[in-house]
Amino acid sequence: MSGATLLELREVGKSFGGVHAVTALNMEVRRGEVLGLIGPNGAGKTTVFNLVSGLQKPSSGSIRLDGHEIGGLRPDQVCRRGIARTFQTASFLPGLTVRENVRLAAEFREPAKRQARSSAAVVADALARTELAEVADEAAELINVSQQKRLEIARAIATEPQLLMTDEIVAGLNPAETDGLLKILTALNRDGMTLVFVEHDVRAVLSVSHRLVVLAQGKLLAEGEPKAVARSPEVIRVYLGSRYAGNR
Ligand SMILES: Nc1ncnc2c1ncn2[C@@H]1O[C@H](COP(=O)(O)OP(=O)(O)O)[C@@H](O)[C@H]1O
Ligand SMILES: [Mg+2]
């Protein structure tokens, strides 16, 4: 399942004026794992994604992918090194079809990847894996919410990443749609993709994650094997109490 360190954050900090969104954060993502990243609203989860994906520059610390510093690189540079992420709100381009949206992502790949595999093949594969082939020629804004979430994943995987980070991807989906999406993510992981999974749905997190990292107020609160972390009194007090432990 999980192996060597793929992504490593060392003493990473990010402040916005006086707000410390992330403080001296140390965490790692291991190659091949599904890492669940959880914590209360405002804990800094999305900021971690923004820092890793290059949308924001860290105020301090180091972010290494495969041992190489990526902290402060631009989003396109980070993407070409093999990290893709989804956004909390849909990021597809309206006015284009589902397939065209995925194709734009595939064409954004670095030249070596484009030579190794045609965009058409990558697009077909991304659409099949996300079960969107049937609506590939529909306008992206006209497909349903569950399909739009899968389009976010299709666009991300069409860049052929080694690491995929999803930010509250099942939010707003019903239980059946959630299960469908989790199956898609689990299959991607089984075929070798490393995943970082930010989610409020604790059932979903516990069902797919090999390891959990819990953030609170920008700091690491706990990490480890999911069931052990979910039983930690500190984690229950700060986060899980009302969501999980309390209503078992
Ligand atoms: N661009 C920004 N400007 C100012 N404050 C921000 C900005 N982005 C995030 N924050 C603050 O940083 C903290 C962490 O936010 P965020 O990373 O979005 O948390 P989460 O995704 O865990 O809910 C919050 O207090 C939030 O208000
Ligand atoms: Mg967030």
- The pLDDT value recorded for residue 2 is 55
- Ligand 1 atom index nearest CA of 20: 12
- Pocket lining for ligand 1, CB < 6 angstroms: 16, 19, 21, 39, 41-47
> Which domains, and CATH codes, for the chain?
5-82+161-247 (3.40.50.300), 92-160 (no CATH)
- The pLDDT value recorded for residue 90 is 79
- The pLDDT value recorded for residue 201 is 86
Q: Are 216 and 43 in contact (CB under 8 A)?
A: yes
* Burial degree of 218 (CB within 10 A; 0-12, 13-18, 19+): buried
Q: Which long-range contacts (CB under 8 A, 24 or more apart) does 133-138 make?
A: 135/98, 136/97, 136/98, 136/99, 137/97, 137/98, 137/99, 138/97, 138/98
* Per-residue tokens: 54: 């290059």
- The pLDDT value recorded for residue 13 is 98
- The pLDDT value recorded for residue 88 is 84
Angle at 144 between CA 138 and CA 209, to 5 degrees: 115
- Ligand 1 atom index nearest CA of 41: 23
Angle at 121 between CA 116 and CA 127, to 5 degrees: 135
Q: In angstroms, what is the span from residue 202 Cα to ligand 2's centroid? A: 15
- The pLDDT value recorded for residue 243 is 63
Q: In angstroms, what is the span from residue 28 Cα to ligand 2's centroid? A: 19
Please name the residue whose Cα sits nearest to atom 16 of ligand 1: 44
**Number of the ligand closest to the Cα of 86:** 2
Q: In angstroms, what is the span from residue 38 Cα to ligand 2's centroid? A: 10
Q: In angstroms, what is the span from residue 218 Cα to ligand 1's centroid? A: 9
Low-confidence ranges of the chain (pLDDT < 70): 1-2, 242-248
- Ligand 1 atom index nearest CA of 44: 17
